[in-house]
């Protein structure tokens, strides 16, 4: 059935020799057992991500033998040992000094050079970084690699900055990752090879097609979009109604929807100490707890009360028990996109099958994810067979992809203005928990998706209000700090965003992209 949609051969254009590369994909914990746990649990570095991004100076066997010989000796200094045997990462690229007086647009246009990284034919044999053939843009700060869903919103800014070759190269990079691994990892690191992120690759292809190549571009990436879709639907033919397997949930009526998933049931290597400590505070089986922690990381919303039991914290996380409304809206778009390109290729049976799947997904989303009591689209708790109680900005995705009715869109817009709109933009959820994907924080990609959905349903005034408030907040923080941030406090614009497992990061790829797109759309409106 669905598996028959995948062609036997994927012909993707990649840099010469890169596809044949057989570099190790082992993660730091796999390469350095014992040493890894000691470094992370003893908090040798304030951020657990530092060690997993470090590059070994010698073969793992040599380093482990040295560690075994030295670590029990009096006066052994673990940090000195790591610094001697590993090259530690640098958070930044080229040196850059902000010139606030030159203005926000100048900062945005020149910041791409700071965040851009060159393509690589290879990396260190035991480094965690996965090589990519073309140049790409990183988010910034501790995020020294490309991130999947971040990159779509970064590309919006690259389009506004007239950098088509960089957009094309990044799309080719993601096509390469799909051809090599069968999916797009969370980021191009070995420790991210157990999970993906929200599937924005199809939207990236569409963004490229609208600006470069039209249907020729859509056809060029058809095989890659299809293979990624197969990754999400891999278990669809083997899961019974009322059960779930990997990323697929089969509802009692037979409809296949999707959830976030991670293959591993171990602590995240990049947040190892945090996960081990959190597991000690839960009564759940640790394997289930770690899986749900990782699945939330796959969602990009790490972490939020969206994934918790009502009134409880991280110890109650249950990501895999929820059918996320945003994920399924994105896959609905992918199904329609693949149906379109299948027809272009003369593959009518495949197109019909995809259109049927898209129609079933749309029907299920409207049936299971619309909460008529709150007039909001929510996640669906497939284990309890009821809508999840937490309202979030993910509820705007049905507007963005155009499956909401006109009445539903109006009701969502009214609720959005009444409860989510703040002085600086849209708050992510209505709960204040200390988690970074809850109030008072707001994030650029969710502002953009909400605005896009509102515009699609004629809610122009509210959309423009959000744009104006978000741009104003970004400008205010830039004037105060000389920086553009990963997240913002929209309830108190004079305060910075906070919460989460690490300090507030600046850079910042998707913030820059959304801000540039908003600025350009505002300029077009005035013309």
Whether the per-residue pLDDT at 16 is higher than 80: the answer is: no
Whole-number mean pLDDT of the chain? 93
CA gap 130, 136 in Å, rounded: 13
Which residue among the candidates 486, 501, 506, 517 is catalytic per the annotation?
486
Nearest Cα neighbor of 173 from 285, 18, 302 is 18
Instruction: Record the pTM.
Output: 0.94
Residue 335 tokens read as 């199904």
Tell me the CA distances in angstroms from 261 to 8, 242, 312, 318, 324, one per residue in order.
26, 17, 22, 11, 11
Q: Tens digit of pLDDT for each residue in 293-304?
A: 999 999 999 999
Binned at pLDDT 50, 70 and 90, residue 22 comes out as very low
Nearest Cα neighbor of 486 from 471, 512, 505 is 505
Which residue among the candidates 47, 172, 262, 302 is catalytic per the annotation?
302
Bridge partners (DSSP) listed for residue 129: 189
Whether the per-residue pLDDT at 237 is higher than 80: the answer is: yes
SS3 label, residue 155: helix
Q: What is the pLDDT of residue 525?
A: 63
Residue 445 tokens read as 């990609």
CA gap 331, 398 in Å, rounded: 12
CA gap 448, 162 in Å, rounded: 19
Q: At what angle do helices 286-299 and 272-279 cross, to 10 degrees?
A: 130
379 is catalytic: no
288 is catalytic: no
Whether the per-residue pLDDT at 177 is higher than 70: the answer is: yes
Q: What is the pLDDT of residue 17?
A: 36
Q: State the average pLDDT over residues 126-153.
A: 97
160 burial via Cβ count (<10 Å: 0-12, 13-18, 19+): buried
CA gap 343, 316 in Å, rounded: 45
Tell me the CA distances in angstroms from 181 to 138, 148, 320, 504, one per residue in order.
20, 14, 23, 31
Nearest Cα neighbor of 446 from 432, 429, 431 is 429
Q: Tens digit of pLDDT for each residue in 472-496?
A: 999 999 999 999 999 999 999 899 9
């Amino acid at each position: 059935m669905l598996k028959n949609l995948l062609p036997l051969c994927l012909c993707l254009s990649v840099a010469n020799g890169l596809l044949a590369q057989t570099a190790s994909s082992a993660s730091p914990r796999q390469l350095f057992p014992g040493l890894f746990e000691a470094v992370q649990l003893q908090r040798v570095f304030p951020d657990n991500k530092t060690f997993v991004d470090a590059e070994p100076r010698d073969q793992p066997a040599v380093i482990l033998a040295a560690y075994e010989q030295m670590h029990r000796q009096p006066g052994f200094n673990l940090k000195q040992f790591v610094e001697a045997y590993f090259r530690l990462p640098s958070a930044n690229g080229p040196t850059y000094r902000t010139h606030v007086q030159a203005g926000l647009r100048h900062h945005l246009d020149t910041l791409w050079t700071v965040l851009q990284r060159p393509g690589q034919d290879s990396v260190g044999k035991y480094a965690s970084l996965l090589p990519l053939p073309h140049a790409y843009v990183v988010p910034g700060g501790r995020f020294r690699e490309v991130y999947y869903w971040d990159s779509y919103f970064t590309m919006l800014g690259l389009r506004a900055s007239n950098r088509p070759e960089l957009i094309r190269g990044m799309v080719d990079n993601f096509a390469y990752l799909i051809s090599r691994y069968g999916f797009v990892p969370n980021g191009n690191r070995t420790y991210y090879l157990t999970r993906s992120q929200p599937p924005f690759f199809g939207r990236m292809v569409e963004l490229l097609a609208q600006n470069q190549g039209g249907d020729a571009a859509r056809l060029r990436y058809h095989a890659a979009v299809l293979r990624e879709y197969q990754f999400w639907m891999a278990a669809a033919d083997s899961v019974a109604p009322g059960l779930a397997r990997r990323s697929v949930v089969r509802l009692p009526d037979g409809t296949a929807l999707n959830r976030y998933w991670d293959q591993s049931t171990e602590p995240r290597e990049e947040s190892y100490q945090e996960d081990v400590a959190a597991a000690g505070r839960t009564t759940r089986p640790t394997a289930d707890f770690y899986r749900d922690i990782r699945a939330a990381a796959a969602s990009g919303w790490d972490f939020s009360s969206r994934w918790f039991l009502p009134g409880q914290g991280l110890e109650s996380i249950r990501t895999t028990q929820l059918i996320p409304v945003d994920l399924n809206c994105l896959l609905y778009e992918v199904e329609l996109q693949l149906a379109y390109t299948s027809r272009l290729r003369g593959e009518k049976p495949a197109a019909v099958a995809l259109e049927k799947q898209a129609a079933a997904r749309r029907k299920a989303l409207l049936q299971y994810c619309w909460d008529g009591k709150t007039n909001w689209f929510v996640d669906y708790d497939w284990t309890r067979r009821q809508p999840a109680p937490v309202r979030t900005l993910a509820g705007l995705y049905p507007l963005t992809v155009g499956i909401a009715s006109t009445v539903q869109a109006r009701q969502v817009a009214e609720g959005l203005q009444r409860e989510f709109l703040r002085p600086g933009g849209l708050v992510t959820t209505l709960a204040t928990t200390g988690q970074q994907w809850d109030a008072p924080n707001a994030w650029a990609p969710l502002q953009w998706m909400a605005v896009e959905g509102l515009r699609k349903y004629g809610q122009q005034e509210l959309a423009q209000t959000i744009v104006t408030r978000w741009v104003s907040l970004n400008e205010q923080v830039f004037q105060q700090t000389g920086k553009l941030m990963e997240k913002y406090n929209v309830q108190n614009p004079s305060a910075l965003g906070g919460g989460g497992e690490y300090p507030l990061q600046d850079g910042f790829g998707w913030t820059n992209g959304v801000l540039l797109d908003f600025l350009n759309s505002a300029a077009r409106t005035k013309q």
